[in-house]
């Protein structure tokens, strides 16, 4: 009888979730965003991810999209409540409750494209990296937003697509051992 209950518990999980690996995050204080702004973007990205998973009934595509969105959210704010809770729930095979985000997907996409363009103008490696991510996410969220799609496509043609593996399975650059040169 113990075997039946163990196998029953395994069957209860309706989908497979691979949580993003972000560690302490890929962005430092060099990123051109205030902490409060990072937290707001992280919360809204996590809310959007939650609602996409619900809307698509945890389809593999929606789970991969959520993994990317939650990774970005956690890179922006590693202790973001909504991102951490959603990641945990998906890991347990639980579809989270619908999230009330501050913005519709279309408005969030416009905010991401605008903020991405501003980050690009600010310059610096981290700003450029997040700019590319925001612009690609904006085009995916609202494919009818021609500005976002055009920016994403020209970015892809000029620099290639965003390396999502580097975002979702982040490995910090190793610092050289003491006494060694990089």
At 54-94, the pLDDT tens digits run 999 999 999 999 999 999 999 999 999 999 999 999 999 99
Give Cα 44 to chain centroid, integer Å.
Answer: 10
Break the chain into its structural domains and give their ranges.
Answer: 22-168
**Tens digits of per-residue pLDDT, 130-178?**
999 999 999 999 999 999 999 999 999 999 999 999 999 988 776 555 5
Is residue 63 within 8 Å of 90, Cβ to Cβ? yes
> Terminus-to-terminus CA distance in the chain, angstroms?
59
Cα 166 to the center of its chain, rounded Å: 12
Q: Which residues pair with 169 in a beta bridge?
A: 21
Report pTM: 0.86
179: phi > 0 → left, psi -120 to 50 → alpha, else beta; which? left
């Amino acid at each position: 009888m113990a075997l039946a209950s163990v196998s029953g518990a395994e069957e209860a999980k309706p989908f497979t979730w691979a949580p993003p690996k972000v560690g302490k995050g890929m962005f430092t204080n060099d990123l051109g965003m205030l902490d409060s702004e990072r937290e707001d973007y992280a919360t809204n990205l996590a809310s959007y991810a939650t609602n996409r998973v619900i809307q698509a009934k945890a389809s593999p595509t929606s789970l991969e999209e959520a993994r990317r969105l939650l990774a970005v959210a956690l890179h922006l704010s590693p202790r973001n409540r909504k991102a951490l809770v959603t990641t945990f729930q998906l890991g347990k095979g639980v579809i989270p409750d619908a999230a009330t985000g501050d913005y519709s997907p279309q408005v969030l996409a416009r905010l991401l494209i605008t903020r991405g363009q501003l980050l690009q103008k600010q310059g610096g490696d981290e700003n450029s990296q997040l700019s590319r991510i925001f612009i690609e996410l904006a085009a995916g969220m609202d494919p009818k937003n021609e500005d976002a799609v055009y920016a994403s496509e020209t970015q892809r043609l000029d620099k290639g697509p965003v390396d999502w593996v580097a975002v979702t399975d982040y490995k910090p650059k190793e610092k050289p051992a003491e006494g060694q040169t990089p």
